[in-house]
Chain A
Amino acid sequence: MEKQTHINFRVSKIKKNLFLAISFFTVFAALQLLPNSVFAQDLYVGAATVDITPKLPVAVDGQMTVRIAEVAETPLTANVIVLESKGENTTVLVSCDMVTIPTELKEMIQNQVKESLPALDTKKIIINATHTHTGGVVRDNRYNIPEGVTQVKDYLKFVSDRVAKTIVTTYNQREPGSVSWGISHAKVAYNRRAVYEDGTAKMYGGTHEANFIKVEGFEDQAIQSLFFWNQKGDFVATCINVPSPAQIVENRSTVNADYWHPVREGLKEKYGQQLVVAGWIGAAGDQTPRPRYDEFAEWRMIALRNENKSPDFAEHSGEVNFRNEYHLNEIAGRIIRAVDETYETVKIDKHEAPVIKHEVNNIELPMRVVTETEYNHALKMRAEDMKDAESAQIFSRRIVWYSKVVDRYEIQKSNPQPMYPVELHALRIGDVVICTNPFELFTEYGIQMKARSNAMQTFVLQLVGPGNYLPTKEAVRGGHYSAIVESNEVGPEGGQILVNWSVAMINKLWPE
Chain B
Amino acid sequence: MIFLKHQFFTLLFLSVISFQGYTQSENEDNLKVGWSTADITPDMPVLVAGQFHARLSEGVMDPVTATILALESGEGTNSEKTIWISCDLVGISDGMRATANLRDEIRNRVIKAIPSILPEQIIVNATHTHAAPYVASTASVEDIYGVSLEQMADGKPAMSPSDYIPFAADKIAEGVISAWGKRKPGGMSLGLGHAVVGLNRLQALKHGKSRMYGNTNSPEFSHIEGYEDHSLNLMYFWDINKQLTGIIINIASPSQVSEHSYELSADFWHDTKVALRKSLGDSVYVLAQASSAGDQSPHVMVGSKAEERMQKLLGFAEEGTGRGSNAHRKYIAKQIVDEVTDLFPVMKANIDWQPEFKHEMKLVPLSRRLLSEEDVAEATKEAKTWQAEYDKLKAEVRDNPAMIETPRWYKDITISYSKLRRGLVVSERYELEKVQPKMPIEVHVVRIGDAVFATNPFELYLDYGMQMKAQSPAIQTFIVQLTGSGSYLPTKRSIEGGAYGAVPASTLMGPKGGDELVEETLSIINTMW
Contact = CB atoms under 8 A, between A and B. Distances in A.
Interface of A: 182-187, 191, 207-210, 212-215, 217-219, 221-222, 224, 293-294, 296-298, 300-301, 303-305, 308, 313, 316-320, 334, 337, 341-342, 345-346, 348-349, 444, 447-448, 450-454, 456-458, 472, 500
B491 A214 contact: yes
B227 A294 contact: no
B506 interface: no
A98 B226 CA distance: 32
- Kindly list the 5 A-B residue pairs having the minimum CB-CB distance in the complex, ordered from nearest: A451-B216, A318-B3, A187-B194, A185-B196, A207-B470
Contact of B224 (A298, A317, A447): A447
Contacts of B342: 337
B194 A457 contact: no
24 contacts: A185-B196, A187-B196, A191-B227, A214-B466, A218-B223, A219-B227, A222-B303, A300-B192, A301-B192, A304-B346, A313-B10, A317-B3, A318-B3, A345-B313, A345-B314, A348-B313, A447-B302, A448-B222, A451-B217, A451-B221, A452-B216, A452-B221, A456-B309, A472-B223
Contact of B221 (A217, A348, A448): A448
B476 A297 contact: yes
B436 interface: no
Nearest to A207: B470
Interface in B210-246: 216-219, 221-224, 226-228, 230-231
A186 B194 contact: yes
Q: Which of B221, B310, B463, B470 has the most CB of A within 10 A?
A: B470
A300 B15 CA distance: 13
A75 to B, nearest CB: 30
Contact of B219 (A222, A319, A452): A452
Contacts of A182: 306, 309-310, 313
Contact of B335 (A185, A218, A298, A500): A185
Nearest to B470: A207
A346 B231 CA distance: 26
Contacts of B191: 301
Nearest to A507: B217
B350 A304 contact: yes
Nearest to B477: A294
A294 B192 contact: yes
Contact of A456 (B4, B17, B305): B305
A308 B13 CA distance: 10
B491 A452 contact: no
B227 A218 contact: yes
Interface in B326-347: 335, 338, 342-343, 346
Nearest to B335: A185
Contacts of B227: 191, 214-215, 218-219
A217 B66 CA distance: 36
Given A208-B470, A450-B303, 16 more contacts: A208-B2, A213-B467, A214-B466, A218-B228, A296-B475, A297-B476, A313-B6, A313-B10, A318-B5, A320-B6, A444-B224, A450-B302, A451-B301, A452-B217, A452-B218, A500-B219
B307 interface: yes
A390 to B, nearest CB: 31
Given A221-B196, A451-B221, A456-B305, A293 B5 contact: no
B13 A215 contact: no
Given A219-B227, A222-B303, A294 B476 contact: yes
Contacts of A303: 13
Contacts of A224: 306
Contacts of A212: 467, 470-471
A219 B228 contact: yes
A209 B466 CA distance: 12
Contacts of B335: 185
Interface string B175-197: 00000000000000001111110
Nearest to A334: B194
B9 interface: yes
Given A214-B466, A451-B216, A183 B475 contact: no
Contacts of A308: 17
Contacts of B4: 318
B81 interface: no
A502 to B, nearest CB: 13
Nearest to A503: B219
Contacts of A214: 226-227, 463, 466-467, 491, 493
B514 to A, nearest CB: 10
A494 to B, nearest CB: 15
B469 A294 contact: yes
A216 B346 CA distance: 34
Given A182-B310, A185-B196, A305-B346, A300 B5 contact: no
A336 B479 CA distance: 30
B462 to A, nearest CB: 9
A207 B343 CA distance: 27
Contacts of A454: 217
Nearest to A333: B342
Interface in B1-54: 2-7, 9-10, 13, 17
A453 B302 CA distance: 10
A349 B5 contact: no
B342 to A, nearest CB: 8
Interface in B164-178: none
A305 to B, nearest CB: 6
Contacts of A296: 6, 9, 475
Contacts of B218: 451-452
Contacts of B463: 213-214
Interface in B262-310: 301-303, 305-307, 309-310
A384 B343 CA distance: 52
Contacts of B307: 183
Contact of B223 (A215, A444, A453): A444
Given A214-B466, A294-B192, A457-B303, A448 B223 contact: yes
A318 B2 contact: yes
A308 B463 CA distance: 32
Contact of B13 (A187, A219, A300): A300
A75 B63 CA distance: 55
Contact of A221 (B230, B314, B469): B230
B30 to A, nearest CB: 22
Contacts of B306: 182-183, 224, 456-457
A453 B230 CA distance: 25
Given A301-B192, A349-B313, A456-B309, A318 B6 contact: yes
B471 A208 contact: yes
A191 B226 CA distance: 12
A307 to B, nearest CB: 9
B302 A297 contact: no
